[in-house]
Structure 1
Amino acid sequence: MSEEQETADEIGQLVDDAVKAAFEHVTNELQAARPDVFGLSMSGLGRCRRAAAYALARTEPSDPDLVLHGEKRAAHLGTAVHRMLLPALAHALGGTHEVPVLLADGSVSGIPGILDLWWPSKRAVVDVKTVREYKLDRVLVHGEEYEHRMQVGGYALAQDARWVVWLYLDRSSGQTVRVVEEFGPEFRREVWHRIWEIQKLAETPEYAPRDERGPGLSYQCDGCGWLRRCWGSTARSGESGAQAHIAVDEPAVEAALAQYAMHRDEEGRHKKLKAFWRAVATGGGRKPGTYGRWRYHFTKPGYGLDQKTIRKDYADRGVEVPVKEEAGRLMVRPAKK
């Protein structure tokens, strides 16, 4: 095709393809530098216990390509922020960044990891987590995530730290929320208990608990090297459905329906509570702004389809409104006796 025949869409598609190829290239380069991708590391301590058990037991992965290949854009953007920020942060605190550590857990190889930042004058482990804005909200309410707690606790054990610091950073704005905790005896016991639990589960990893919701409903499952081994041969990354094989008999289906009904009712209750607290916080002409640890604002008004007007317009012109088939709604009610 000559230059005169090229279209903007074709040029744009070439750019899209190049961006995809670039992220895949970065994935391949990073994985080549990690010789033990499927072994247990610090980052796996707080994740799904079955995945951790598979890793510690050296179970052959059923889906290695989910780990070794792909674009993994969010992860790479997080890595880029780390490479920019950590050296400067280490310089400002007087510390060392990207420190290899090894926790002796009684096994031959130990549990390896790479600590973001070691602050020796305070004996503090500092770990940077790049997230989206909504996760900053969760940290403000609930504190650090359990997965991150166990990971950084593992680093602290390996370094005999006194303090642990989680620094959550919104990668779109640079806003940060930090959590600081003394690494005392109770925290140490919590981490060791998790390690010992994984060691015990690794003896029979197929019976270890699943801590994630399965393909299509969990990012961790969608990128797990043991996806089909865990969820069955029909499991596909990004597609739900394999969860059905958990309900092997009528009592299991009954229990699943009961759980669905409970969470449905909780969802309705939480919607009402959200509406109430919204009215409390933003009503009465109160101006948006910062209030202690929280701030709020309203986005610009948007536009949605005016269904009533559209239907009237079609009816006036004698034309049927175009429709598409949709899946039926799931209705769960107590069975009639």
Structure 2
Amino acid sequence: MTAVLPARPSAAERRAAPSLAAAVRELDRRRARSRQRMIGASELGECRRRAAYRVARRRPTNTRTGLQAFLGTELHRGVLRTLRRQYGGLTEVGLRGDQVKGRCDWWHAPVVEDLKTASRFGFERVLTRGVPTKHWFQVAVYAWLLRTGQTSDRRLPPGVGQDVEGLRIRYLSRDSGEDVVFEADHDPALAAEAIMWLSDVYATVDANGPEAVPRDGFGPGVDGMCDWCPFLDLCWGPPVEAETEGDVSRQSRLTVTDQDYVQAVHDYDTWRAAESEARRNKEYARERLRGRSGPADDLHCEWSGGSLRTQVDKDAAVERLVDLGEEVPTRRARSPQTIRVTRTGARAEGRSDAAA
């Protein structure tokens, strides 16, 4: 039998740059977080259904990793290294309890700090809305595990509690490099609330399985929590394929039963009314703030914009092209889908009851 040797790669193939995206996916696949089954502290307060799948040891169905997330992770490591070299303390401290584990970003006694790298949108959201409860859960549990000696780090003596008095969360914008720090005293009640959240998940999984645990996300295409969840397809089902190319009328996988549909219609009507009232109240507050800025208790108000700027007059540009006998450039674009929910009026039996 004659051996068939593989074809030698061409010079162009040998010079081709390796794929960074492929390297990122493989690295994330091998990381402990991708393989872990115990709940990580960073998942506390996030989505109970996702935590339930971890507890039930279900295999993730969606493991894509974005390059942006990878860059955020590497930036995260570099910042922690800088903090440790400049101020001391321990970074990435391994912690492990009976039901939860994690890595404390920075323990600079007596304060536990967690670092969050954020996009411009995420950073602005924290500035306007404050720290999400789930982030306080995470750092509070780190403090509790350290105080009770539940560590898995060779740099710390096993079983020996550490002195932790304060909590700190630092948000760093990946776009501007700006950071903002939020601080609080150690609060045992906050850690207890986080542990109760997790205990309820464990109890429901043991009694009825992970599908009995409610979701906290609003579903794919609506909530980023779901879009990037490793259990997306397991939780919501596989994507609904379009019957024809470009079909946008296919049913969402968020609606399963007729009762789901009825509830969604009523939800849309309710939140449409709430949105209108909220917009009215916001505009009223905005007009009262016009011409004023500065601190207001724990908030701060400032105005920006309002300057004149030059922009293209599209209508005049089209008219000018027509006058010159030029063809107006066009492109095909799909029009936005609209939805109309209306009242159907009283039903016949209802009118009969009223007449009677």
Of stretches 142-151 and 41-50 in structure 1, the one that deviates more from structure 2 is 142-151
5+ residue gaps in structure 2? 1-15, 148-163, 242-249, 347-356
Of stretches 290-299 and 193-202 in structure 1, the one that deviates more from structure 2 is 290-299
Shift of residue 183, structure 1, vs aligned partner? 2.0
In structure 1, what is the Cα distance between the partners aligned to 2:323 and 2:263?
47
Aligned to 1:7: none
Contact 1:169-1:175 within 8 A present in 2 as well: yes
Q: After superposition, where does 1:178-257 map in structure 2 within 5 Å? A: 178-203=181-206, 204-234=209-239, 241-245=252-256, 248-250=257-259, 252-257=260-265
Q: 1:219 to 1:141 in 2, by over 3 A?
A: closer
Shift of residue 221, structure 1, vs aligned partner? 2.0
Amino acid at match of 1:50: R
Aligned to 1:80: 74
Q: Does 1:103 align with 2:101?
A: no
Q: 1:327 to 1:35 in 2, by over 3 A?
A: closer
Aligned to 1:265: 273
Shift of residue 192, structure 1, vs aligned partner? 1.7
Name the SS of the counterpart of 2:311 in structure 1: coil
2:339 to 322, 330, 337: 330
2:143 to 148, 156, 159: 156
Q: 1:31 to 1:229 in 2, by over 3 A?
A: closer
Aligned to 2:173: 170
In structure 2, what is the Cα distance between the partners aligned to 1:100 and 1:315?
72
Aligned to 1:37: 35
Amino acid at match of 1:182: D
5+ residue gaps in structure 1? 1-16, 106-110
Amino acid at match of 2:21: F
Q: Does 1:48 align with 2:51?
A: no
Between structures 1 and 2, the one with greater helix share: 1
Q: Does 1:297 align with 2:304?
A: yes
Name the SS of the counterpart of 1:267 in structure 2: helix
Question: What is the CA deviation profile of residues 115-172 of structure 1, one whole-angstrom value per residue up to 9, with x for unaligned ones?
Answer: 110112x2x2100111123333432343211332222222122112322111111111
Contact 2:166-2:183 within 8 A present in 1 as well: yes
Q: 1:310 to 1:180 in 2, by over 3 A?
A: same
Amino acid at match of 1:29: L
Name the SS of the counterpart of 2:32 in structure 1: coil
In structure 2, what is the Cα distance between the partners aligned to 1:126 and 1:240?
45
In structure 2, what is the Cα distance between the partners aligned to 1:305 and 1:260?
36
In structure 2, what is the Cα distance between the partners aligned to 1:256 and 1:315?
51
Q: 1:327 to 1:75 in 2, by over 3 A?
A: closer
Q: 1:77 to 1:289 in 2, by over 3 A?
A: farther
Contact 1:168-1:178 within 8 A present in 2 as well: yes
In structure 1, what is the Cα distance between the partners aligned to 2:294 and 2:129?
22
Name the SS of the counterpart of 1:129 in structure 2: strand
In structure 2, what is the Cα distance between the partners aligned to 1:113 and 1:84?
19
Question: What is the CA deviation profile of residues 197-233 of structure 1, one whole-angstrom value per residue up to 9, with x for unaligned ones?
Answer: 1211322101111111212222232232322221123
In structure 2, what is the Cα distance between the partners aligned to 1:333 and 1:308?
39
Q: 1:327 to 1:295 in 2, by over 3 A?
A: closer
Q: 1:311 to 1:336 in 2, by over 3 A?
A: farther
2:101 to 92, 105, 112: 112
Contact 1:290-1:296 within 8 A present in 2 as well: no
TM-score (norm 1): 0.75
Larger gyration radius, structure 1 or structure 2:
2
